[in-house]
């Protein structure tokens, strides 16, 4: 798999994503500056976490107009895997590649902690390596992760099984107590209707090595690698 | 041309920062606070723009139509 990790001014998880990706055999991951205009030849595009453009105006609102976003949009429309993590999720929502938006956390606090996430759908290129209902232990670090969409959009997301991760308790129970930010229906990650664009607030790239405290994030990248190699085969 | 764009959270959207600020007002002795909503005011000076262009910028960049409304005022 050949992946592009987009660097916006203010991205700060770009090299973490690159390190996580290249820890898998046969995966190449290039850092691609946001002023570039082509993503030709890449199987996957990662929009990493951080504070693109200082989160000025709204999170992701300026990054969505970066030159590279035309190429990201084109890649998404041709079935290339697009993964947005944290600020990358916010950018995908602002760009209209995913529905809804991420608002200020309901408790107003920046939440930087580990959370449990339940896998809600495994029939996607991002979650195929998990068991349905698996509970992952992933770190979150955000001030604006409160997912909101209007009732029609929410209904469509559920009807199409586009919610891939929800904040849960350790036993997988979805509760208000497990929700760190006020997100609608504990939503932590959603995919596009076509399944090839995925945005999530937690940071899988930070838990891809036991030295860093866990490996629960690896399954997302493993799933992407499997999906890419099965397309090629 | 000078213009002001006011961006506000939609009425149906909970504004936690506004709620917290309203509680602080109560603490300071301003009783009977029923609602506080926090938005943004963006002042623009621009040459040769049309009102239509400013509406597009206000809709596409300055506000997020999912959760915010904007008002454009040409000064």
**What is the Cα–Cα distance from B40 to A108, expressed in whole angstroms?**
18
Could you report the per-residue pLDDT of A31-58, keeping only the tens digit for each? 999 999 999 999 999 999 999 999 999 9
Mean pLDDT of A97-105: 97
Cβ distance A106 to B14 less than 8 Å, yes or no, reads yes
- Rounded to the nearest integer, the mean pLDDT of chain A is 97
ipTM of the complex: 0.84
Q: How far is B49 from chain A (nearest CA, A)?
A: 20
Q: What is the pLDDT of residue A225?
A: 98
Confidence of residue A208 (pLDDT cuts 50, 70, 90): very high
pLDDT mean values, one per 10 residues, chain B (75 residues): 97 90 95 95 97 97 96 96
Q: How many residues does chain A have?
A: 233
> Which residues are bridge partners to A50 per DSSP?
A11
Residue of A134, A126, A122, A207 whose CA lies nearest to A168? A134
Tokens of A130: 């998990």
Pick from B20, B61, B66: CB nearest A108: B20
- Is the pLDDT at A232 greater than 80? The verdict is no
Cβ distance A101 to B61 less than 8 Å, yes or no, reads no
Q: How far is B31 from chain A (nearest CA, A)?
A: 23
Pick from B14, B20, B62: CB nearest A57: B62
Q: What is the pLDDT of residue A158?
A: 98
Cβ distance A148 to B13 less than 8 Å, yes or no, reads yes
**What is the Cα–Cα distance from A22 to A24, expressed in whole angstroms?**
5
Mean pLDDT of A198-223: 97
Could you report the per-residue pLDDT of A186-206, keeping only the tens digit for each? 999 999 999 999 999 999 999
Cβ distance B67 to A101 less than 8 Å, yes or no, reads yes
Q: What is the pLDDT of residue A132?
A: 98
Residue of A120, A70, A125, A111 whose CA lies nearest to A201? A111
Tokens of A122: 């495994």
Cβ contact A167:A177 at 8 Å:
no
Mean pLDDT of A132-148: 98
**What is the Cα–Cα distance from A120 to A122, expressed in whole angstroms?**
7
- If you measure CA to CA, which chain B residue comes closest to A105? B16
- Is the pLDDT at A170 greater than 90? The verdict is yes
Q: What is the pLDDT of residue A203?
A: 98
Cβ distance B66 to A101 less than 8 Å, yes or no, reads yes
Q: Indicate the pTM of the whole model.
A: 0.94
Q: Which residues of A are catalytic?
A: 86, 203, 205
**What is the Cα–Cα distance from A101 to A60, expressed in whole angstroms?**
10
Q: How far is B13 from chain A (nearest CA, A)?
A: 9
Angle between helices A14-22 and A218-232 (to 10 degrees): 60
Over pLDDT 90: what percentage of chain A?
A: 98
Residue A17: how many CA atoms within 13 Å on its side-chain side?
A: 29
Q: What is the pLDDT of residue A231?
A: 83
Cβ contact A80:A56 at 8 Å:
no
> Which residues are bridge partners to A136 per DSSP?
A117
Tokens of A36: 């570039």
Q: What is the pLDDT of residue B14?
A: 87
Q: What is the pLDDT of residue A122?
A: 98
Q: Give Cα A23 to chain centroid, integer Å.
A: 19
- If you measure CA to CA, which chain B residue comes closest to A63? B61
- Determine the residue among A55, A57, A109 to mutate to test chain B binding: the one whose Cβ has the most chain B Cβ atoms within 10 Å: A57
**What is the Cα–Cα distance from A138 to A125, expressed in whole angstroms?**
19
Cβ distance B16 to A65 less than 8 Å, yes or no, reads no
């Amino acid at each position: 798999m050949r992946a592009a990790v987009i660097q916006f001014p203010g991205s700060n998880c770009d090299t973490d994503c690159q390190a996580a990706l290249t820890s898998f055999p046969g995966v190449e991951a290039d850092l691609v500056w946001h002023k570039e205009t082509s993503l030709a030849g890449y199987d996957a595009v990662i929009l990493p976490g951080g504070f693109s453009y200082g989160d000025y105006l709204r999170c992701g609102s300026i990054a969505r107009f970066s030159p590279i976003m035309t190429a990201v949009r084109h890649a998404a429309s041709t079935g290339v895997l697009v993964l947005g993590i944290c600020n990358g999720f916010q950018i995908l929502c602002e760009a209209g590649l995913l529905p809804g938006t991420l608002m200020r956390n309901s408790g107003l606090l920046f939440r930087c902690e580990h959370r449990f996430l339940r896998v809600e759908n495994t029939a996607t290129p991002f979650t195929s390596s998990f068991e349905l209902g698996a509970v992952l232990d992933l770190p979150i670090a955000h001030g604006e992760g409160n997912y909101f969409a209007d009732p029609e959009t929410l209904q469509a997301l559920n009807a199409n099984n586009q919610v891939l991760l929800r904040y849960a308790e350790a036993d997988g129970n979805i509760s208000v107590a497990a929700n760190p930010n006020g997100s609608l229906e504990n939503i932590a990650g959603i995919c596009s209707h076509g399944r090839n664009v995925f945005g999530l607030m937690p940071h899988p790239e930070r838990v891809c090595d036991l030295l860093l405290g866990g490996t629960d994030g690896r399954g997302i990248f493993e799933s992407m690698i499997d999906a890419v190699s099965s397309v090629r085969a | 041309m000078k213009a002001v764009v006011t961006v506000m959270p939609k009425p149906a959207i909970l504004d936690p920062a506004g709620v917290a600020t309203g509680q602080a007002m109560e603490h300071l002795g301003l009783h009977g606070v029923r609602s506080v909503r926090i938005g943004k005011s963006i002042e623009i000076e621009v040459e040769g723009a049309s009102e239509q262009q400013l509406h597009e910028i206000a809709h596409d960049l300055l506000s997020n139509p999912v959760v915010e409304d904007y008002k454009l005022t040409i000064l």
